[in-house]
Amino acid sequence: MIKLVVFDLDNVIIDGEAIDEIGKLANVEDEIAEITEKAMQGEIDFETSIKDRVKLLEGTSVEDIQKVADELPLMNGAEDTIARLKEEGLDVAIISGSFDIVAQTVKDKLGIENAYTNSFTVEDGKLTGEVTGPLVSGSKLDVLKEHIEGNDTSLEEVVAVGDGANDISMIESAGIGIAFNAKDSVKEKADVVVDEKDLTKVLDEIINQLSTDVVEDDETEQVEEAEEKAEESTEEAEKPKKDGLPESDFVLADTMEGVRKQKDEKEAEIAKVTEEREEFNRIAKEQRKIRDELNASLKENLNKAIEFRNERNEINKQVEEAKKARNEANNKIRNLEWSSGKRDKIKIENEIKKIDKIIETRVLDIKKENQLVKNANDLRKQLMEIHEDESVKGEAQDLKKLSEEEHEKVIEFSEKAQAAHEETLKYFRKTDDIRTAADEAHKKFIEARKNASAKHEEFKSILSDIHVINKKLGSNRPRKRRSSSNKSSSSNGNKNREEKERAEEIFDKFKHGGKLSTEELLLLQKYNIN
């Protein structure tokens, strides 16, 4: 049985993220939106995210924030949903990591009594950048438990509606958890998923559940009891609403024979409707089982995809480390080679090449050609006098070997990373297929449950008509005469007399305001004492 419906605020009751809108006042909306998204995905804890975001708002005017709160649009269907839930007698509350300025405005608009949020710290009408409240470091489940404590409400009697990672604690623990346009991590934990920005879809789920609560395994027994009471007592038949039955406007036939025929027709009708309802309930249970199994498989495959993704990311870190080590070794090699005289050798060799090319390709007078040959020979003498540092040369060889080893690691780790990446994609694609199938099963479950609910309403209407018929038949049934003596033995006669005396005592008890058991009521009826 549902007693309480608790909603998140941002992107659930209101169509938007309040702190993102407030961030526009301080020109930090991009920074805040980035932190918000990480928090919603569960990449950073909520306490860190809320403190970091509020710090960015330091100096923002409270007056300006109130204007933003006034202009924030309600989610489509919010007013109708809250109004209907209250009509059904359900308690409605907001539990949100958002802020009291916004929540108070929403409470006033929708007539919601309880809202649990955080608060900005304010000095001289401006934000200090600090935040306080029960949801800075505490979980929404903790707040929910505190709310229901002493209210004669259990977690099983709660519907929790949310969209972000910080809603998971209450969605998992509530009797019914609803993911509303939520992140995948939230959908995995929810009993119901709504992917439309329309709160009336959430309302439909809750109303269907309220109807389904009536159509449980003990329903048949309750209905049979109601029918027995209708046949045994006209007084009970006059109280259909107490049994949850609608008022009947059934028109009785003019004759008792006609009334009895009407009863036969109604009993055949209710048997057919009962069969149809049970078939829809069977389909709903079947599709729910399929959905739950698919969701379990979805979770398993998603975990596999995340596992391979994490493995890929770790291997890529190794790739980067190997690349860094390889590049550092290559840089050291180049520096050593230049410092050991190689720079001068290369320079001289290039000069000699230039001179040789001129001599080979140009027509020169003998004097100029001789001068070039002499210059080339001088350079060759200089080249022969340059000796590389052998120790440096050895160090360079070691570094070259290290560079080659690190390059081999780069290749090896890159291949492993690619394999992990392919596995990641495989499981993500499989996850998408499973999610599609789970969504389809959920749609069939909802459809079957709606049909079962409709058949149950039809069932109750027919049952109400049967009560009217039974009342008519009961009031025209000849009263059975009871005697203190009959064809049985004298011991039975004594027993009857004792029962009758007991019945009279019970009636005296009743006259003086005493409460009677079912057994005592039956005894009064048996001896027609009134």
Judge residue 54's burial from the number of C-beta atoms within 10 Å of its C-beta, 0-12 exposed, 13-18 middle, 19 or more buried.
buried
Decide if 10 is catalytic: yes
> 204 with 443: CB under 8 angstroms?
no
Question: What length does the chain have?
Answer: 530
The pairs formed by 323-330 with CB atoms below 8 angstroms and a separation of 24 or more are 323/406, 323/410, 325/402, 325/406, 326/403, 326/406, 326/407, 326/409, 326/410, 329/399, 329/400, 329/402, 329/403, 329/406, 330/399, 330/403
C-alpha dihedral sign at 199, 205, 209, 211: positive
Chain position carrying tokens 């359900």: 90
Give the C-alpha separation, 195 to 435, whole Å. 13
Give the C-alpha separation, 228 to 230, whole Å. 5
**3-state SS, residue 95:** strand
Give the C-alpha separation, 347 to 59, whole Å. 64
Give the C-alpha separation, 157 to 179, whole Å. 17
**What φ, ψ does residue 474 adopt, rounded to 5°?**
-70, -40
Query: Which of 8, 163, 243, 465 is the catalytic position?
Result: 8
Query: Which of 10, 163, 167, 465 is the catalytic position?
Result: 10
Decide if 389 is catalytic: no
Give me the helices (H) in 338-389, please. 343-361, 366-385
Q: CA–CA distance from 209 to each of 13, 85, 92, 94 (Å)?
A: 21, 12, 16, 21
Give the C-alpha separation, 490 to 494, whole Å. 6
Q: CA–CA distance from 508 to each of 120, 277, 395, 515 (Å)?
A: 67, 46, 115, 11
> 99 with 118: CB under 8 angstroms?
yes
User: What b/e readout covers 8-39, taking b as 16+ CB neighbours within 10 angstroms?
Assistant: bbbbbbbeebbbbbbbebbebbeebbebbbbb
Catalogue the active-site residues: 8, 10
